[in-house]
Amino acid sequence: MHMADALLSPAVGVTMWAASAGAIAYCSAKVRSELDDRKAPLMGVLGAFLFAAQMINFTIPATGSSGHLGGGLLLAILLGPCAAFLTIASVLVVQALFFADGGLLALGCNIFNMGFFPAFITYPFVYKKILGSNPDQKRLTMATLIAAVVGLQLGSFSVVLETLFSGISALPFTTFALLMQPIHLAIGIVEGFVTVAVVSFVYKARPEIMHGAMEVRPIGNHPVRNVLLAFLAAAILTGGGVSWFASKDPDGLEWAIARVTGKEELQGPEHGLHGALAAIQEKSAFLPDYSFKKPVEPKNKGENPAIEKKKEAEGNLGTSIAGIVGTLMTLALAFFSGFLLKKRNKAA
């Protein structure tokens, strides 16, 4: 659901940048006053885990589409909404700047769509309401599944509205919405089950993490080392190896665009703000599309099995390196965000 710049006008893109920046400022102030010693490393490993998990596109049967975790609800359940918003913003900044996943003009939209709705709408008003004051596994499963689906529906509809208000693409509102909402319903159901599995693991291993996030209080002196190591190991394994097996089908947004226009990606303006940001991203993204930069190949060269096999091996190597590098970069950014906020709080 990472939007490209081609869908957005500068006015909408800049407005959503401002909205997300305001939310980041608010969350930074809240986290600075709430943070305990264990929250910063938890933000780091969960951000790293989400980066790696978003590399795994899963096939949506009978559609020709695929999807990946949004992850905002998962982070909100384990970190609380404000720390979750800062963490998913870290993930999306790394993805956009260094891997060209989502446009730079669209970065504010992507942070808002994948961070605001799960953290500040579905977590407090759907998940917590269903979970109630006496949670058990059944309520946890139900609350997580429903909240995941609602969060993804809100995020995908926001994509449609931002595209509509931009008015620079040929995507008709009704058709686009009728494709986006059902495909993200299917993706949301899968996200719900994956989120249930992850939060159930944490609930059994260290329920204090979820209680602390829900009640906005420190985790306390309960050891979280094993949980941190488990998420870090899962992130490196997923980004470094499992990512080879991600579905090659277009994700839900690309699929919907292709069904309307016949192309998975639209060509945006080449000049003005679009052109300037595209030039910055071309220089900063040293592993675009989670692989090595590819040289321009001559046309009509013909297929050579040996060359194709070599390309496949290089592609897998590039994916592994991108997965591990991105995981570590996100770990560092999310961790230091929490660490610096905590340090400023102590200095105040």
Here the CATH number for the domain that contains residue 279 is 1.10.1760.20
pTM for the whole structure:
0.92
**Orientation of helix 225-240 relative to helix 39-53, angle to 10°:** 20
Q: CA 156, CA 1: separation in Å to the nearest integer?
A: 7
Residue 106 lies in a domain: yes
Q: How many domains does the chain have?
A: 1
Where on the phi/psi map is residue 39: left (φ > 0), alpha (ψ -120 to 50), or beta? alpha
239, part of any domain: no
Sign of the CA dihedral with 18 first, then 21, 26, and 29 last: negative
In a domain, 264, yes or no: yes
Per-residue pLDDT tens digits for 58-88: 999 999 999 999 999 999 999 999 999 999 9
Residue 41 lies in a domain: yes
Rounded mean pLDDT of the chain?
91
Question: What element of type H or E holds 66?
Answer: strand 65-67
Instruction: Specify if 127 maps to a domain.
Output: yes
| Distance from C-alpha of 70 to C-alpha of 152, rounded to nearest angstrom | 8
For 16-52, the pLDDT digits (tens) are 999 999 999 999 999 988 767 778 899 999 999 999 9
Let me know if residue 117 belongs to a domain: yes
Radius of gyration of the chain (CA): 20
Separation CA 293–CA 286 (nearest Å): 7
Give, to the nearest 10 degrees, the angle between helix 173-205 and helix 207-215.
120
The string of pLDDT tens digits covering residues 129-163 is 999 888 888 999 999 999 999 999 999 999 999 99
Note down the domain range covering 266.
5-234+244-346
